[in-house]
Structure 1
Amino acid sequence: MKFSKALIAGMVIMLGANASGQKTAEKFEKLQIDMFPKAKEGYKQVYIQLPVAKNEDQLKVEFFVGAEKELDCNRHFMIGEIKTQDLQGWGYPYYDVESKGEVKGTLMACPDKKLTKQFVTLTPEIVRYNSKLPLVFYVPKGMEVRYRIWRADSTMNRAVQK
């Protein structure tokens, strides 16, 4: 009985130490976004600040612009466009989203006609990772921007020659 309590206590301590070791502080460059234009009527400005990372040239950022909608079993996508703009005098890119939030989808018959909340997006884009520059977006109110980081595999594979 004493052995199992000691074993459990030891495991709890190890798990706690491991969990605290996994929480590393992310470093961020202090970014300025004041030079970017203000959002126009009906739009909002949002931005992504990426943490400083080792080997940033091996990373990419994929971003998704969309909204949560109640949808059926079909595959859905949002109609609109993401336009890359240049911040005049600075050379920094920013993204203007043109969309009315309209959704299109496949026309499969959904037997249960059940609706579920899904994040439906415009066509996602992949850009280079750069922690020194913010990714600035102008999106219609009611839409949001989500993103994920892509990392290159350290192993380079060869193609097979026929």
Structure 2
Amino acid sequence: MEGQAYGAGMAGGSFDAIAFIKKPSVILRLFSLLFSIIVFGCISSPVGGYYEGQCVYNNDPNACNYGIAIGVIAFMACIVFLILEALFENLSSVQQRKMVVMADMAFSGFWTFLWFVGFCYLTNQWSKSNHPDTVNVSNPQAAIAFSFFSIGTWVSF
């Protein structure tokens, strides 16, 4: 395995989409992307995180806003890191590769922490709230579950 720097082959090779999608880091990133869509989709949908204009997480709009924010930012970060992963083979500079790997590790660690905080916050607010029979409880509970699953996908990077 000569000529490799930070887990990649020599720069300038052709792009193989099948090999790219089979990479464990890409699979985990795609799961993270899916989970982030589920979290912010469940909270921001009209029948999800809000009932009669109030956040269903104990009427705390910060809980709904936090869940939506970390979901949307995670979605955008996943897209950016998937693009960087696809372009990684074409980076010829070891310093550039090092910066991409370090940024990925730092962001993933930080975002794991934020998903953990979000899971605890949403769970705490959900346990304190009273739900009338007309409230759809599946979307808020799904957002809590997938925020927990997101911890595992982000910590794996």
TM-score by length of 2: 0.26
From the two aligned structures, give the one with the greater helix fraction.
2
Structure (1 or 2) with the greater strand fraction:
1
Which is greater in Rg? 1
TM-score normalised by L of structure 1 = 0.26
Q: Pick 1 or 2: higher relative contact order, CA cutoff 8 A, min separation 6.
A: 2
